[in-house]
Structure 1
Amino acid sequence: MYFSLLLATVVLLGANIPVEGTYNNVPILESKRHISSTPKPEPIDVTELPLPPVTANDEEGGCTSDINSRGTGCIGISPNLQNGNFLPDGNHVTATLNFTGAPAAPDERSIYVGQQLIVVKVDGSTFPNGDAWKCLTCGVPAQNMVGSTILDAYPQAFHDGKRVLVGTNIVDCGLALLASADCTPDKIHIYPIRWNVQSNGTGPGGNIRELRVHPDNVHLGFNAFTLSGASMGEFSYFGRLVFNPSPTAGTPLTARYDLVNVTMLFNPNQTVIGADGDQLIFNPNALRVGEFRGFTGRGNEITYLGQPVESCNFDVFAADLTTGKVRRITSDPGYTDPIDVSPDDKWQVILTTLQSGRMLFLSAMRGVPPITDLITSASTGSVRNNGQRRFFQPWLLDHDGDRGSYIGQLINSAGDGSPGSINDPNWNAGADPRWSPDGTSIVYFQNLVKAPACGGQNPLPCPNSTAPGGRTSRLMLARLTSRQPLPAQPVTPVSDEVPWGIPYVPGSSPPSALPLLEGNYTLKGNVSGTAHASFTLDSTKSSISSVAVIYSNYSDDGINRLNGFENVTATPVNLTLIHLDWFSDLTSTGKSNSTKVSSPDGFHLEIDQLYNFFNANGTLETMVDGVIFKQPPNGA
């Protein structure tokens, strides 16, 4: 399989790689990055957590007593699983999944249907009925969930153990702890979350996504898409959650949580690539939030997927909520996105494609400034997946991030890679991994690749599931067995104000996310050389349509020098699909010698941001010290 390219060496776990940093012959870090002491690999025990029994029959009544004798429901082979975080006791984790095959009402088992929120035991014990899991929202009365939406994404328990944010709702069991016998469906209320986007406060709220609860349990971060002409954009926001028992304006007119004092996490005065006159400015330390991903353990920083600071390299960053100081957490040549930070801020678990090698035909050449990325990022970032085949695995990384010989520790490295093993490459992680409150465990989930990302015309075969019932999702627990539990330390609520952001005014139009550069500019290397860049706007003058760059002995580190050219034109097909025509002939010489070259007729890529199916004509190849990294086959 294509993604086995680097798998054989994934067990490095921070082995002795040269100080400048390489991973399978690919430079990992810029040589001038500060090299601090690094942790040694630690023992990690990974096990699978129990889930409801599986029925292959999704039809009404398909969940029979033979499959579940307790009458507490079944899930399908593909249950739409999403792990959440731990309850404050550390003995339960939240998750959402889809129940199916329930008999019709008035059978008491009819409540086990649709997307629901559950809690799962992690200590090997069971609930009083003998199940290791409990459905919290199955059977909630209709009058207790007016205005609520699907319970499908990122469940996050509050510190009181009585509430869980899930999707764009808060599930609340009143005075009862969620995992207790006192928490019954009739006591649960599901309250919608509303973000007002109208100047007069009327109508439905704005569409929000990727919600993350701040550790103070008072504030919330989220993302929202924007539409501008033929382009789709995204901004991130921070606001206070306020319970509104009797709203008088805006829909739904039911008890709900309102987002107030909202700030756009955007600093218009900072950009990675900008201009001063005819000089191009490259600021790798700029605060530029691409997509908000969460908060650090104590809540002093946000984490986010940033605008690339190296061409085609997608990393996670942190920025102080007050000062805006930026910290680059990862710089490996994979795609890193989901991240969760330990309660004491000393560790993080990340999901990255590094071990797969999937991104290396784009990113293996290091130190290229992200000039063409102004129009390619939406497409190149989508290479990380192939539809239902994800290429992410969980890695443990300390606070200072990857550096020198340290690239972190692959959490699920133990095993022989056989079908169903914890490091079976056909099982890939989904967002978000989560730390336990005491910092000794991490929960994550995985999905098994399935058609059309395999089989049929796809050159990759579809594997058979070895999970119970043949299901294609599993919930995993990683125990860091040598660690001592952290003491509980409540987080003091932070200010509503984010000084470097823009206070959000309902009804206002979003700013331009990227500078609309037009014409010719020169970027001077920090050490030597130049990059001459030419930008062309589209016919509406609302976005950049083409970028051409010529490098002449360009160097920011004094170790490698870049020569050659890249020329890219972006043509929108629809809101989520862009056609790229890409011509490249780059050479980097010095400590590491590399080339990045397109075929003579160019590299032509179309990949939908929503589906991520790789489809290209022509080739783009990167060679590093004699090792060639090729693009994946179409559909693979």
Structure 2
Amino acid sequence: MAVLSLIVLAGLWLLTTVSANKTPRPPWPEPIDVVELLLPPVISRNETGACTAAVNPRGTGCIGQVFNEFQSGDFTPDGDHVVVNVEFIGASSAPDPASIYSGEQVILVKTDGTNFSNGDPWKCISCGISASNAQSLDPQKDYPHVFRSGTKVLWGHNILVCGNILVSSDKCKPENTYIYPLYWPISADGSGPGGVPRELRLHPDDEHIGWSSFTSAGGQHAYFGRLQFNPSPSSGDTLAPRYDLVDVSLLMEPNGLAPIMANGNELELHDQAITVGELRGFSGSGDEITYIGSPREANNIDVFAVHLITGAVRRLTSHPEYTDPLGWSYDNGWFVAMDTRGTDRQMWMSGMRMIPPVIDLITVTAASSTRNNGLRRFFQPILIDCYGDRGDYFGQQINAGGNGSNGAINDPNWNGRADPAFSYDGTKIVYWQALVTSPSCGGANPLKCPESTAEGGRRYRAMLAHLKRRKPTKPAPVFKVPKNIPWAIPFPPGASVPPQYILPTGNYTLKGKSSGIAHATLIANPSTGDFKTISVSYKNYSDDNGDHIISGFESVTSTKIPGENPWMNHLDWSSDLKQTGVVNATKITSPGGFQMSIDAMVNIFSANGTLTTTIDGAVYRQPANGT
């Protein structure tokens, strides 16, 4: 399956005369060159003055070998620069001018092979800003994104502003640059601490923004709001000039469809249910919100898109591996997804296709956690056209052109991370990778830690992909955001998340769209109200005209320990499924079943017994414990 998934690759458009209501044939592969971007010089010691003139003669700072918060972000509008989050170490003490190159900072990196006027292929845009120009700076500094104006940068829970000057310009200097914190008022009177947004993504209109936020019960919701500058706030715990998140909507449809609902004693699957679990960003024009949603197939975590006005839902990815971060081209024609496809990381649990996602009412968090081993992500960048996965088309691995050796562009020990980004003209893509590092290797972990071939032994790198045959395109017109999203829930300060549909426990049938039937039993945990056990038996079940016919039995029991971390999952799994049709497959647990424990915030795999999927003779086994 892993080989099959990469046979048909993405590339140049084949279609020129396909009507608007038809999905075109998949594109052919295209030539892509990948190079590593230059970053500041590397030192191995974080001591005052360790960044000497011998290491950096221009006195513009040094970075360390390991920095877990390193991230590259968007291109500037000219396509010649990428915004990057770094940590400077070993700076001299003040009043040495080089003392400003210290701590976590945001820089621009050249992508055209030239240097800035300082002689470096990079420049720091947050270094040296006075305390008066950066009051109440929020310590959360991640996911850097450049506004389309080119004059602002979203930097975690902060916005860096250089007036009307492009941040890439020499005229953008510390004395005319300001950094303002973000504040999300959630109390009715606007007082006290604000809400805690995570992984914020800019809408293309430069005015709106989307984000996710964890709940105390081990879940999260997604939100959409507007940025409003507040020069002199009078409430809240951040009283310095700030950007407020206002006109907020909870991205949830009131009384809307749930993915699985009961109709008497029958279960119904609803593909148009809006389930924005974790917000991933926006389409190139901004007409759609992209997100991780409820699975359409058992244990298969995918990215979806929902239209801001109509609420129409599209499934963008369907490969049985795991997809998460992604970035759209500005012309709306393509997206890059960071995906485990080709690695077989998830195939042992999700490789059997077209199983309805009934057990996912228990297993979804665990299924979305096994794609990592701690900080190791197993992601590689996949180029996919705007119509998404379909048939045997699962995109083109952007960095497949290497030889797989240590340090090569496709070295499997270098894992892709969030977020990839296109240049405005669509001819370049930037993404970044981290080299697997202890404790995700070495010590108790059976995986040996590789040596870094990057400059100075650095264990992170920013990569630039040139789409060699592409001609520049223009960004699509930016979608005008309505005052209110028709299908979402207004979420002013003081609002609370309304109750959502809960599938009642009991015994149900689920009829296959093409043939067969499934019988499901849902049992509740009386102490938590969650599902404790879900069991499903299938007889000649098919939803796709008999291409995949499922028979057999699967059952999962969840054990919740009172007072335990809500992100901890303990599953006892029993499976004996067979599939015929276009493939012959099985999904089978060992005698005594398969018991798995995993913390969704840590992602260290631990199991007893086995769960194994076999597809046309190809056997996919679970990862080793600790990996």
Q: Do both share a fold (TM > 0.5)?
A: yes
Equivalent residue number for residue 296 of structure 2: 309
Distance in 1 separating the partners of 2:228 and 2:529: 37
Residue 118 of structure 1, CA deviation = 0.4
Q: Kindly provide the CA deviation profile for residues 25-62 of structure 1, in whole angstroms up to 9, marking residues without a partner as x.
A: xxxxxxxxx87311111111111101011110012222
Distance in 1 separating the partners of 2:473 and 2:83: 21
Change (3 A) 1:235 1:464: same
Aligned residues of 1:516 and 1:544 also touching (Cα < 8 A): no
Equivalent residue number for residue 203 of structure 1: 192
One-letter amino acid matched to 1:14: L
Q: Give 3-state SS (helix, strand or coil) of 1:384's partner.
A: coil
Matched, 1:246 2:232: yes
One-letter amino acid matched to 1:115: E
Aligned residues of 2:221 and 2:250 also touching (Cα < 8 A): yes
Distance in 1 separating the partners of 2:553 and 2:136: 54
Equivalent residue number for residue 9 of structure 2: 14
Change (3 A) 1:512 1:355: farther
Aligned residues of 1:335 and 1:359 also touching (Cα < 8 A): yes
Q: Which shows bigger deviation, 102-111 or 343-352? A: 102-111
Equivalent residue number for residue 63 of structure 2: 75
Equivalent residue number for residue 395 of structure 2: 408
Aligned residues of 1:10 and 1:413 also touching (Cα < 8 A): no
Q: Kindly provide the CA deviation profile for residues 99-149 of structure 1, in whole angstroms up to 9, marking residues without a partner as x.
A: 111122232222111111100110011011211100111121112222221
Residue 297 of structure 1, CA deviation = 0.4
Q: Kindly provide the CA deviation profile for residues 387-415 of structure 1, in whole angstroms up to 9, marking residues without a partner as x.
A: 12211000111111122232111100111
Aligned residues of 1:553 and 1:561 also touching (Cα < 8 A): yes
Equivalent residue number for residue 435 of structure 1: 422
One-letter amino acid matched to 2:602: Y
Matched, 1:603 2:594: yes
Residue 485 of structure 1, CA deviation = 1.0
Q: Which shows bigger deviation, 512-521 or 59-68? A: 512-521
Q: Which shows bigger deviation, 366-375 or 172-181? A: 172-181
Equivalent residue number for residue 398 of structure 1: 385
Distance in 2 separating the partners of 1:478 and 1:278: 53
Equivalent residue number for residue 185 of structure 1: 174
Distance in 2 separating the partners of 1:570 and 1:400: 36
Aligned residues of 2:143 and 2:199 also touching (Cα < 8 A): yes
Q: Give 3-state SS (helix, strand or coil) of 1:366's partner.
A: coil
Q: Which shows bigger deviation, 302-311 or 272-281? A: 272-281
TM-score normalised by the chain length of structure 1: 0.93
Distance in 2 separating the partners of 1:237 and 1:613: 29
Matched, 1:123 2:109: no
Distance in 1 separating the partners of 2:574 and 2:492: 42
Equivalent residue number for residue 18 of structure 2: none
Equivalent residue number for residue 145 of structure 2: 156
Matched, 1:567 2:555: yes
Equivalent residue number for residue 134 of structure 1: 123
Q: Kindly provide the CA deviation profile for residues 243-284 of structure 1, in whole angstroms up to 9, marking residues without a partner as x.
A: 111112222011111111111111241211111222111123
Residue 293 of structure 1, CA deviation = 0.4
Equivalent residue number for residue 213 of structure 2: 224
Matched, 1:380 2:367: yes
Aligned residues of 2:431 and 2:463 also touching (Cα < 8 A): yes
Distance in 2 separating the partners of 1:199 and 1:114: 36
Root-mean-square deviation (Å): 1.8
Residue 380 of structure 1, CA deviation = 1.2
Distance in 1 separating the partners of 2:30 and 2:540: 43
Residue 540 of structure 1, CA deviation = 3.5
Q: Which shows bigger deviation, 522-531 or 197-206? A: 522-531
- Among the aligned pairs, what percent are the same residue? 50
Give 5+ residue unaligned stretches, structure 1.
16-33
Aligned residues of 1:152 and 1:166 also touching (Cα < 8 A): yes
Change (3 A) 1:555 1:487: closer
Distance in 2 separating the partners of 1:37 and 1:488: 23
Change (3 A) 1:182 1:400: same
Matched, 1:257 2:251: no
Residue 512 of structure 1, CA deviation = 4.0
One-letter amino acid matched to 2:348: F
Distance in 2 separating the partners of 1:386 and 1:57: 27
Equivalent residue number for residue 22 of structure 1: none
Residue 503 of structure 1, CA deviation = 0.9
Equivalent residue number for residue 166 of structure 1: 155
Distance in 1 separating the partners of 2:506 and 2:592: 25
Equivalent residue number for residue 296 of structure 1: 283
Matched, 1:584 2:584: no
Residue 490 of structure 1, CA deviation = 5.1
Matched, 1:42 2:37: no
Matched, 1:55 2:43: yes
Distance in 2 separating the partners of 1:152 and 1:479: 28
Aligned residues of 1:563 and 1:588 also touching (Cα < 8 A): yes
Q: Give 3-state SS (helix, strand or coil) of 1:381's partner.
A: helix
Change (3 A) 1:501 1:320: same
Distance in 2 separating the partners of 1:219 and 1:536: 42
Q: Give 3-state SS (helix, strand or coil) of 1:385's partner.
A: coil
Change (3 A) 1:208 1:330: same
Match of 1:426 among 394, 413, 420: 413
One-letter amino acid matched to 1:103: S
Change (3 A) 1:472 1:138: same
Give 5+ residue unaligned stretches, structure 2.
11-21
